[in-house]
């Protein structure tokens, strides 16, 4: 039986809603950690899913949905960074949602840990956040995909469109920068 256009559209919308429900948290988290600005992250995540919805009919499944969505997110972040470089005045705005001072960053340690251990862990985590924020764009993307989203090198290569060797080189340099920042934090 042939499906009417309306029925096909409704089916597509239903399928896509389940994609949104499943993948939204990861895409939002990756964008939030990359931008460190909740408003911008929400807005960019919406744009990302809007783009995905517009292209949903053409998605043939060559990559997994997750890889495809993360690739869109990486491209959105790249465009966003380019726009911000052009609109340099935007950098001077006051934005209470941006957490560049890293004081409100969760420590990422168990609440049962001793106060000393929690303080030390918070200092370490803050150093990693600061280091990640100061990395060049591609290094940061690779670093976050590896250590926040837990992707392996091949998956990162598929998401970023870089060669595996290039991904490895970016990750190595990013780790060196993070280690240097952590050493500074202890001096």
Q: Which residues bind another protein (CB under 8 A)?
A: 6, 9, 13, 16-17, 20-21, 24-25, 28-29, 32-33, 42, 45-46, 49-50, 53, 105-109, 121, 124-125, 127-129, 132, 144, 147-148, 150, 168, 171-172, 175-176, 178-180, 182
Question: 21 or 91, CB closer to another protein?
Answer: 21
Distance of closest approach, residue 114 Cβ to another protein, in angstroms: 15
Question: 127 or 158, CB closer to another protein?
Answer: 127
What is the 8-class DSSP label of residue 4? P
Determine contact, residues 120/23, Cβ cutoff 8 Å: no
Question: 42 or 166, CB closer to another protein?
Answer: 42
**Radius of gyration from C-alpha coordinates of the chain:** 19
Half-sphere exposure of 37 (CA within 13 A, CB side): 14
Distance of closest approach, residue 107 Cβ to another protein, in angstroms: 6
Distance of closest approach, residue 127 Cβ to another protein, in angstroms: 8
Question: 63 or 175, CB closer to another protein?
Answer: 175
Distance of closest approach, residue 29 Cβ to another protein, in angstroms: 4
SS percent in the chain: helix, strand, coil, step 5: 75, 0, 25
Helix (H, G, I), strand (E, B) or coil at 168: helix
Distance of closest approach, residue 86 Cβ to another protein, in angstroms: 26
Distance of closest approach, residue 175 Cβ to another protein, in angstroms: 4
Phi, psi of 98 (to 5 degrees): -90, 130
Distance separating alpha carbons of residues 14 and 133, to the nearest angstrom: 37
Question: 61 or 106, CB closer to another protein?
Answer: 106
Question: 82 or 108, CB closer to another protein?
Answer: 108
**Quick one: 87 exposed, middle or buried, by C-beta within 10 A (0-12, 13-18, 19+)?**
exposed
Determine contact, residues 60/183, Cβ cutoff 8 Å: no
């Amino acid at each position: 039986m042939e499906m009417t256009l309306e029925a096909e559209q409704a089916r597509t919308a239903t399928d896509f809603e389940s994609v949104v429900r499943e993948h939204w948290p990861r895409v939002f988290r990756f964008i939030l950690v990359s931008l460190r600005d909740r408003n911008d992250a929400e807005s960019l995540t919406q744009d990302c899913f809007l783009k995905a919805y517009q292209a949903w009919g053409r998605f043939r499944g060559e990559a997994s949905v997750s890889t495809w969505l993360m690739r869109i997110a990486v491209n959105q972040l790249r465009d966003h960074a380019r726009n911000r470089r052009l609109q340099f005045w935007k950098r001077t705005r006051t934005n209470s949602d941006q957490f560049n001072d890293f004081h409100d960053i969760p420590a990422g340690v168990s609440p049962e840990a001793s106060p000393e251990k929690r303080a030390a862990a918070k200092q370490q985590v803050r150093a990693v956040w600061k280091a990640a924020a100061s990395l060049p764009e591609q290094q940061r993307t690779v670093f976050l995909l590896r250590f926040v989203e837990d992707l392996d090198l091949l998956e990162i290569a598929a998401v970023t469109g870089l060669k595996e060797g290039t991904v490895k080189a970016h990750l190595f340099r990013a780790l060196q920068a993070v280690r240097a920042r952590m050493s500074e934090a202890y001096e």
